[in-house]
Structure 1
Amino acid sequence: MSSLFQNAYYIGINFNAILYGVELVLYGMTMNELVSRRKKWTRTDKVYMAFSTALLVLITIYMSTEAVFGEEMWIVNQNTPGGPLGFLVENADIWYQTMGTTASVILNLCSDALLVGLNRVHLI
């Protein structure tokens, strides 16, 4: 028997996967453009390339851990006492879920730091 939370969790993972695909396309287009003009790289270009790559790594960690946890909850351990919700309650603090949540928090902090930094130099 599914609950509203399980349905929302599942739909959230799917929407995240769609947005992750958009992220991959934008990252690929950006890096392609920057690599095509490699001889004209400035220090700022290199910083943004490193920053974009770091953000991509962090979102990949988050997406991977969410997908693995969803698989564990709904497929591998669906017969846990209490069902998938019982598995969630028992394993919400499992190490890889904590790592994914930490990656998500660091991702948000990095994005906010970029916006604050851009605002301080009046680029926005």
Structure 2
Amino acid sequence: MASTELATERALYIGITISTVIYGGNLFLYVYSTYMLMTSSKPMQRRLFYACFGGLLFLLLTVSSASNAAFGELMWIERRNNPGGPPAFFAANLAAWYNAFGTAADCASNILTDGLLLYRCYIIWGSSLRVIIIPAIIYLGSISMAVMMVIESAMPMSDLWQGLAAQFGISWVALTVSFNVIVTALITFRLLLFHHRVQFVLTNVQRNVYTGTVAILVESTLPFTVLGIVYLATYIQNAPSAIAVGIVWGTFVVLTPQLIILRVATGIAWSRDTGSKITQTITHFDHSSSSGNINMIKVNP
């Protein structure tokens, strides 16, 4: 067996293994966040939206994970004695219906996740449309490339890692990574700005909730963005490791919004009026300081 073929199989195995572990984490997060949503006092319409949104993402992740598991089971167990062995099966079945179905599920979950991130950026920037114009244009471009990639990858004998399907795939990943880089930068800048402004106004607990390290990592989806950059770099080089990184990245597509939904469910996520409340608190604090009567003003999560 050639070293490249062995590296490809190893990458597929590692990717499936790691993604299975993350799948379990996604399951826990979805169940727990849904429980918190259903027992919270938030408006029912909002609770149902996030519960259904998280459930749809988890369903898509299940389809994608099942597709990868089925491909591995067929290649290494059921059809391992076919002429050419696992490498020949891998090359001949990349366009199989279950792989195309899994690819479509990955793309659909990514479209939903990027849509949620765009909305979160809009909310964190005080419902400012002009801030999200450029990310929105890139988002629409990534959707078109994702659709073209899914169609091309379903063609007979198509290869997601080479040829026209790979060109659409690289374009899709490049656009969605660019989108995530811009949105991550916008959200991180906004939260760091608020963190600097509220140092002497909010309590330590409140600062950590809204502008702390965890808040910045979750709200800005920084880990997901970094992993996307790594995936793009390996995909462009057609490296065998791109398979493992791509599978793991596909699970982070769902893990990222589930963490945001959990913050929403527990009442510590940014909402439409969080920024205005903090600004009012800062203004009140400034007035109190100028009058010599300084009181720590609390913003309830």
- TM value normalised by structure 2: 0.39
Query: In structure 2, what is the Cα distance between the partners aligned to 1:72 and 1:49?
Result: 34
Percent sequence identity over matched residues? 34
Partner of 2:121: 119
Q: What is the alpha-carbon root mean square deviation over aligned residues? A: 1.6
Q: Deviations over 1:43-64 (max 9, x none)?
A: 2221111110110100000001
Report the AA paired with residue 91 of structure 1: N
- Conserved 8 A contact 2:38-2:47: no
- Tell me what 1:16 maps to: 19
SS state at 2:124 partner: coil
Shift of 1:92: 0.7
Greater Rg over alpha carbons, structure: 2
Correspondence for 2:67 = 65
Q: Give the counterpart letter for 1:26 in structure 2.
A: L
Does residue 36 in structure 1 map to residue 32 in structure 2? no
How far the C-alpha of 1:22 sits from its partner, in A, is 0.4
Letter in structure 1 aligned against 2:113: S
Greater displacement, 23-32 / 114-123: 114-123
C-alpha deviations, 1:37-95, integer Å up to 9, x for none? 4x654322211111101101000000011101110010000011111010011111001
Q: Distance in 1 between matches of 2:7 and 2:85?
A: 14
Query: What residue is the counterpart of 1:78 in the other structure?
Result: 80
Structure 2 residue runs of 5 or longer lacking an equivalent are 126-186, 188-301
Deviations 1:90-117 (A, max 9, x none): 1110011100011001111110110001
Residue 6 (structure 1) aligned with residue 9 (structure 2): yes
Distance in 2 separating the partners of 1:41 and 1:20: 29
Structure 1 portions without partners, runs of 5+: none
Output aligned runs, 1:89-104, within 5 Å.
89-104=91-106
One-letter identity of the residue aligned with 1:60: T
- Which residue does the alignment assign to 1:108? 110
Name the SS for the 2:74 alignment partner.
Answer: helix
AA matched with 1:3: L
- Structure 1's consecutive aligned runs of 4 or more residues displaced over 6 angstroms after TM superposition are none
Distance (Å, rounded) in 2 between the aligned partners of 1:36 and 1:58 = 25
The 1-side partners of 2:124 and 2:108 are apart by 24
Contact 2:61 2:106 (C-alpha < 8 Å) held by counterparts: yes
Distance 2:50 2:88 in 1: 43
